[in-house]
Structure 1
Amino acid sequence: MNAELEKAHDHVRRIVEKSGTSFGLGMKILPEDGRRAMYGVYAFCREIDDIADEPGTEQAKRDGLDKWRKEVERLYQGQPEDLTMVALLPAVEAYDLPKQEFIELIDGMVMDVDLDFGRAERLDHSGLHLYCRRVAGAVGMLSIRIFGEPDATQFALAMGDALQLTNILRDIGEDADEGRIYLPIDMIRAEGITATDPKEIVRDPRLTAVCDRIAEEADARFRDAEEQSRRHDRRKLKPALVMGSIYRGYLDKLLARGFADPTATVKMSKAAKATRALRAMMG
């Protein structure tokens, strides 16, 4: 391995370790080449997500995301410049990773910017599922190739929906504080909620019904993912099943808590995550 590639692999590994992501548990069980590939995918997601989430002007965010579009093009021309993309080059070649899925991820971040700066209506129900497809489904579609089960597309999309919907339900309060709400605006309005400020929306008791329905959708997508996994080699899908188990635990906690106060914090200890991960690996 040349010095530049070694430096790139160290770069993406540090991004994963610094993030403390729960996804690290699933990635650690992969063989070295697969783990390095997933670290590259995660680092790419982290870097574009930071552009959308961190303070900055609308133009700066759009320019930053456009820079990553150009980086994707350079990656697929075999001439990456950014360290994250240098780390991804062997994975693109070894696992035939589709360029369009990286573009989908960037488009998902553009949706975040559009929401932040009023360049689009808040997400309706179909928009929410497009968002899930872009920011989570795309990761799944890349991951199944790295896992060695590229035909498991329906599993990848179901799991992506389940994870993202759970994440949205878990982070309602945090997102509202940042001026965002990902719950479908058409469902919110159907409950008679007319507020436009996310902080006001999340305090309205009528929002409980919307949260309940999204939780039902997340539960259904977890069940879809489980069913789809049994049509493929589950041993290869174990990293995703580990993550699914952890996030299923979050959804169970949310359902047990209920959505009378959707901003209430739900946490899971490292020990609880490790236990769920172990059960998924042995299942």
Structure 2
Amino acid sequence: MTDRELDAAGIGDPALRAAYRHCRALNARHGKTYFLATRLLPVERRPAVHALYGFARWADDIVDCLGPGADTGRRAAALTGLRRSLEEGLRDGHSHEPVVLALADTARRYGIEPALFHDFMSAMSADLTVTDYADYAALRGYMHGSAAVIGLQMLPVLGTVVPREEAAPYAAELGVAFQLSNFLRDVGEDLDRGRVYLPADLLAGHGVDRELLRWSRDTGRHEPRITSALREFEALTRGVYRQALPGLAMLAPVSRPCIRTAFLLYRGILDAVARDGYSVLHRRAVVPRRRRAAVAADGLARAVAARLRAGRSPAPCPPHAPAPGTPCPPAAKEVM
């Protein structure tokens, strides 16, 4: 993490600075789309986003990437250790885990509810034993902890021009939309891990089950029934993006370019999947580099304009929700 970002955020303790740098490195290495969008935020807000992402990445790696041959017991023990470290960090502000140290500092600075992190850890634990979901309602229950809470954690960092509780449902929905995009893109990789996130009833409606997915993955052959099911899941995901869209205008103006860029890039995964013929069981669809560059350039222009206007615009709601009855300035219209 650059000294400029840390200095702007008022992070002076050497151990904390090292912890935040560690989180930034995780974001840069694993969350390329997220990292690109984060760079459009004002510098003082970036360390907090890196801390939130770094913790989520660390937990996810325990579940998925602990090492060849790691059994469920070993993964569960590692998650239990992380959970204990999290509880200590949130309670005392201390941890030997850099990602927890940075996360606890961010939670304190922005008043993020500890329950959001506990719900996330519960979802990570579910990934150790739950390998599929009967229907969309069951999947949404899982995604509350794995995705919706990420949007809710981010909201105090981004700031809002409406009371936070008004923006919260849209932030949660956007977190879900991002994860649904990843689920569609990663069907093949998740299958190799023993998991199917596409709802079983949606698949069955097209005559698809886990065995057929496995056959397609192993043989490299396409199956029209699978394509039809993937197309329906894509349509479902686009609907979630539409539900989340009004929330962009509720964010602080200086934060909107970042989230708008992430919105367009993650939604662009759906376009990439469709353009690639729904071949997600055989290869990963990627947003073309030219498209990523164009979206990023537009986001940068919007970010610069927003910062120039910031001195003339009404202040956004502070990190902590305003007192009851205290209105925030009205949201400006956001044009996609």
Distance 2:295 2:199 in 1: 30
Matched-pair contact (CA < 8 Å) for 1:193–1:201 = no
Structure 1 residues 270 and 20, CA gap change in structure 2 (3 angstroms): farther
Matched-pair contact (CA < 8 Å) for 2:188–2:280 = no
The amino acid across from 2:24 in the alignment is: R
The amino acid across from 1:15 in the alignment is: L
The amino acid across from 1:113 in the alignment is: L
Which residue of the partner structure matches residue 215 of structure 2? 200
Matched-pair contact (CA < 8 Å) for 1:172–1:263 = no
Which residue of the partner structure matches residue 115 of structure 1? 130
Structure 1 residues 275 and 47, CA gap change in structure 2 (3 angstroms): same
Matched-pair contact (CA < 8 Å) for 2:206–2:225 = yes
Structure 1 residue 107: deviation in Å? 1.7
Residue from 70, 74, 92 that aligns with 1:78: 92
Distance 1:133 1:224 in 2: 16
Which residue of the partner structure matches residue 39 of structure 2? 28
Moved more, 42-51 or 228-237: 228-237
SS in 2 for 1:80: coil
Matched-pair contact (CA < 8 Å) for 1:72–1:99 = no
Which residue of the partner structure matches residue 5 of structure 1? 16
Query: C-alpha offsets along residues 23-67 of structure 1, whole Å, 9 cap, x if unaligned?
Result: 001211223331111111111011100011024111111111111
Structure 1 residue 94: deviation in Å? 1.6
Residue correspondence of structure 1 range 38-49 to structure 2 within 5 A: 38-49=49-60
Structure 1 residues 186 and 201, CA gap change in structure 2 (3 angstroms): farther
Which residue of the partner structure matches residue 93 of structure 1? 108
Structure 1 residue 225: deviation in Å? 1.7
Structure 1 residue 184: deviation in Å? 0.6
Structure 1 residues 23 and 74, CA gap change in structure 2 (3 angstroms): same
Query: C-alpha offsets along residues 217-240 of structure 1, whole Å, 9 cap, x if unaligned?
Result: 111111122223234545433322
SS in 1 for 2:92: coil
Query: C-alpha offsets along residues 204-255 of structure 1, whole Å, 9 cap, x if unaligned?
Result: 5322232122111111111122223234545433322211110121112223
Distance 1:148 1:95 in 2: 10
RMSD: 2.4
Larger Rg: 2
Distance 1:73 1:265 in 2: 36
Distance 1:211 1:239 in 2: 29
Identity %, equivalent residues = 24
Residue correspondence of structure 1 range 1-283 to structure 2 within 5 A: 1-19=12-30, 21-54=32-65, 55=67, 56-81=70-95, 82-115=97-130, 122-149=133-160, 150-151=164-165, 152-196=167-211, 198-200=213-215, 204-259=223-278, 262-280=281-299, 282=302
Matched-pair contact (CA < 8 Å) for 2:75–2:128 = yes
SS in 2 for 1:115: coil
**Alignment coverage as a number of residue pairs:** 279
Distance 2:210 2:24 in 1: 43
Structure 1 residues 219 and 193, CA gap change in structure 2 (3 angstroms): closer
Query: C-alpha offsets along residues 63-107 of structure 1, whole Å, 9 cap, x if unaligned?
Result: 111112212211221232121122123311221111111112212
Q: TM-score, normalised by structure 1?
A: 0.88
Q: TM-score, normalised by structure 2?
A: 0.75
Which residue of the partner structure matches residue 332 of structure 2? none
Matched-pair contact (CA < 8 Å) for 1:144–1:156 = yes
> What 5-or-longer segments of structure 1 have no aligned partner?
none
